[in-house]
Structure 1
Amino acid sequence: MKTFVIAFLCLMGTTGLLPSTGAFAQTHSQLVYTTVERQPEFPGGKAALSRYLAENIRFPSSLMRKNQNTGPVAAKFIVDKDGSVHDVRISTKPLDKKAQKGMEDFMTTIIAAIEQMPRWRPGEVKGEPVAVFYTLPIEVNMQ
């Protein structure tokens, strides 16, 4: 228990080191922005991104058979200054135990598809490419 409390306090202490503007955050050795002058863009724009996701993400049949509503799903990742994508995380609403396995499979396919994306046009600040935290809402259409 003491270890957990100490680790929690250390984590809480580091948040005070981040700038209060919310414009960027510091990761291991790289500055990653949350607000930029020009957002990162998938090659071909939003329509191409939608096509890519539709072709590469499959909704698990176990969830489809149960007509399970996943609720809002979002992929959060970093688009690096060279346009590569990494540190993919998925956020969803909590699901009951029956749907968890299917949802884990779904999240795995989302992560794999995003990690295999072609390079994006990176975000920019003052005309220079920068790494950006990006949140991508994923719409589930079971038709």
Structure 2
Amino acid sequence: MKRFILAALCLTGTVYIAPSVWSTAQAQNQKVYTVAEQQPEFPGGKPALSLYLAENIKVPGVLVRKNYNTGQVAAKFIVDELGYVHDVRVVTKPLDKKTQKGMEDFMASIITAIEKMPRWEPGEVGGKRVPVFYTLPIEVNVR
């Protein structure tokens, strides 16, 4: 729990929320865990997740041309008890006006890629599958 709070404090900044999704789990008054005995896992593990993100997230040309360092970027979402991803949000550092459009396109690309992910192996508590909040740090090297 302490690790989650520290991560949340370090990643404050602009939040982009996909307009088509809102807190489904919260609307259903369903308990969503921040820590589970068994955390959700992408099919194939972390190497497969890294490959999936590299293939599906598009970095806008304006960020590449400007050699812009995106800084800390994190995707936050819920992996439900069936392994589906919901409520995707992207958190980043505050943006200046020059890079705002490129970063908005980049964040939209992250959201699209995450929403299209294959089903995860859900988290478990007490041997029962449960919805879990998941924070995925995203690093971009434009060089």
TM-score range, shorter chain: 0.7 to 0.9
**Mapping for residues 63-78 of structure 1, pairs under 5 Å:** 63-78=63-78
Could you tell me which residue of structure 2 aligns to residue 128 of structure 1? 128
Could you tell me which residue of structure 2 aligns to residue 22 of structure 1? none
Q: Please report how far the alpha carbon of residue 129 of structure 1 lies from its aligned counterpart in structure 2 after TM superposition.
A: 0.3
Q: Which has the larger radius of gyration?
A: 1
Q: Please report how far the alpha carbon of residue 85 of structure 1 lies from its aligned counterpart in structure 2 after TM superposition.
A: 0.2
Q: Higher RCO, 1 or 2 (CA under 8 Å, sep at least 6)? A: 2
- RMSD over aligned CA atoms reads 0.9
Q: Could you say what secondary structure the match of 2:99 adopts?
A: helix
CA distance in 1, matches of 2:119, 2:80: 9
Structure 2: 5+ residue runs without aligned partners? 1-24
TM-score (norm 2): 0.80
**Mapping for residues 1-143 of structure 1, pairs under 5 Å:** 27-29=26-28, 30-143=30-143
Q: Can you list the C-alpha shifts for 1:80-117, whole angstroms capped at 9, x where unaligned?
A: 00000010000000111000000000000000000000
TM-score (norm 1): 0.80
Moved over 2 A (4+): none
